Amino acid sequence: MFHAFSFILMTLVLALRAFGKSKAQLALENLALRQQLASMHRTTRQARVGKRAWHIESGYSKRSKVETTFHRYKGIVGSVMKARGLAAQRVEARIGCKILNTMTALGMPDGEMQKVTSSVALCRWAL
């Protein structure tokens, strides 16, 4: 909603400024507005091509995996470094990565999806 409001406000301001401008200046502003509309149109591409195709095309899944990795790192190791010096912080980061990689290598619990009487699926972890 904020983007739509700011776009309308910007268009109104540009229209008020247009009274004293030449045709060449107006053509340049028109071009700039068209480029902004094109960038807004690109953001709605997900709705047109489908979510999965958009994920593959835009590289969203790679970005999502990186965000998930950092979330796991901060959840397990902590979001604040304890070491003060740069060399010690590097060692701390390496140790944190080793811990994270070890936990990943051990694997996730095995689970299987089971239907419940309502149409909600639950996951039971095999321990």
Does a structural domain hold residue 109? no
Tell me the pairing of strands 121-126 and 110-115.
Answer: antiparallel
Does a structural domain hold residue 50? no
Pair (34, 68) in one structural domain: no
The whole-number pLDDT of residue 54 equals 75
Pair (90, 64) in one structural domain: yes
- Quick check: 119 pLDDT over 60? no
* CB of 124 closer than 8 Å to CB of 113: no
Pair (37, 71) in one structural domain: no
Does a structural domain hold residue 49? no
The whole-number pLDDT of residue 126 equals 46
The whole-number pLDDT of residue 70 equals 87
Pair (65, 33) in one structural domain: no
- Quick check: 7 pLDDT over 90? no
- Quick check: 113 pLDDT over 80? no
- Quick check: 22 pLDDT over 70? yes
Does a structural domain hold residue 86? yes
Distance of alpha carbon 49 from its chain centroid, rounded? Answer: 18
Give the domain extent around 18.
2-43
Q: Quick check: pTM over 0.85?
A: no
Pair (64, 94) in one structural domain: yes
Pair (64, 36) in one structural domain: no
d(CA 127, CA 121): 19
Q: What is the DSSP letter of 85?
A: S
Total domains in the fold of the chain: 2
The whole-number pLDDT of residue 84 equals 93
Nearest of 107, 54, 100 to residue 76 by alpha carbon:
100
